């Protein structure tokens, strides 16, 4: 499996890509290609062009959750497909996979809505939509985890805004991840880890029936975490069989330094290409 980061807060040094506070990655495995998240804008399209990746061959669009920094790129993606169709270019019609609540509106004080700009009804006019609460196997090696059980008391409890027609804070139940079963262990790709990076890893092990973790790539939602959360996260990771991690997007520098004391942490950013 080949993985390329198309959108992130950072870009690799001496590589000429665009960055923004968002996340998007492109996965290729045999004859399957997956666009995982679309970032905040259309820069993933420009970066994919510079990286010589053909988005028009995408088989699946997978959304980690509904927040703007992962879904607002859907609008330029739709325009890209429309423009390619107008020009008569050959296109695949990718299937969009996500959690059933991914298109719910999210109201945050001071903002109108931090959820997807595109409604479920509108997106269905462009792509077939498949929504899963439970794990869904895309291939015999790649699984979309669906809803992540929140089993740890120290993570996955923080709320951000309010879902439409809800009477409590939004703890992002639509947060999910995808997992690749490599010969060296599991490769976990996550968007923001609102459900908790340890919860995600533990659920990936359960679903895939595999204990060894080859890599964890994406946002860990560790932005100035309280000391108790960080210590418990480090303890869990230290006791886990993890070869390496690539924390990025919503993971601050101090958290990366802390994590590197218990697990090998490598640099991540737009332009990074990994192969498993």
The DSSP output letter for 216 is E
Contact 58, 36 (CB under 8 A): no
pLDDT for res 166: 74
Q: Which of 214, 261, 215 is nearest to 235 (CA)?
A: 261
For the beta carbon of residue 28, count every other beta carbon within 10 angstroms: 17
Alpha helices in 65-194 (DSSP H): 68-71, 74-86, 120-123
CA pair distance 135, 152, nearest whole angstrom: 20
The label of the residue with tokens 């601050």 reads: 252
- pLDDT tens readout for residues 1-24: 999 999 999 999 988 999 999 999
Distance between first and last Cα of the chain: 5
pLDDT for res 263: 98
- Of the chain, the percentage scoring pLDDT greater than 90 comes to 88
The DSSP output letter for 11 is B
Domains of the chain: 2-275 (3.60.15.10)
Alpha helices in 38-119 (DSSP H): 43-50, 68-71, 74-86
The label of the residue with tokens 């210590």 reads: 231
The answer, yes or no, to whether residue 200 has pLDDT greater than 80, is yes
The answer, yes or no, to whether residue 111 has pLDDT greater than 80, is no
Q: Nearest-5° angle of CA 67, CA 132, CA 169?
A: 40
CA pair distance 173, 194, nearest whole angstrom: 8
């Amino acid at each position: 499996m080949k993985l390329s980061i198309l959108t992130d807060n950072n870009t690799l040094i001496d590589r000429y890509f665009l960055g923004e506070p968002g996340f998007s990655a492109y996965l290729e495995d045999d004859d399957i290609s997956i666009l995982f998240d679309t970032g905040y804008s259309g820069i993933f399209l420009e970066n994919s062009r510079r990286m010589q990746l053909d988005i028009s061959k995408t088989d699946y669009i997978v959304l980690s959750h509904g927040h703007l920094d992962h879904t607002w790129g859907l609008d330029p993606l739709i325009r890209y497909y429309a423009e390619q169709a107008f020009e008569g270019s050959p296109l695949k019609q990718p299937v969009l996979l996500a959690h059933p609540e991914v298109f719910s509106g999210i109201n945050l004080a001071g903002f109108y809505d931090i959820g997807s700009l595109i409604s479920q009804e509108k997106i269905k006019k462009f792509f077939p939509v498949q929504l899963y609460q439970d794990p869904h196997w895309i291939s015999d090696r790649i699984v979309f985890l669906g809803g992540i059980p929140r089993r740890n008391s120290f993570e996955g409890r923080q709320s951000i805004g309010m879902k439409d027609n809800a009477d409590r804070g939004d703890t992002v139940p639509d947060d999910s991840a995808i997992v690749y079963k490599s010969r060296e262990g599991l490769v976990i790709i996550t968007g923001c880890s609102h459900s908790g990076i340890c919860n995600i890893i533990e659920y990936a092990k359960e679903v895939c029936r595999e204990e060894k973790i080859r890599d964890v790539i994406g946002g860990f939602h560790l932005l100035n975490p309280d000391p108790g959360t960080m210590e418990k996260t480090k303890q869990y990771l230290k006791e886990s069989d993890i070869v390496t991690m690539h924390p990025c997007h919503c993971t601050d520098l101090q958290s990366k330094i802390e994590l590197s004391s218990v697990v090998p942490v490598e640099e991540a950013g737009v332009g990074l290409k990994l192969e498993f």
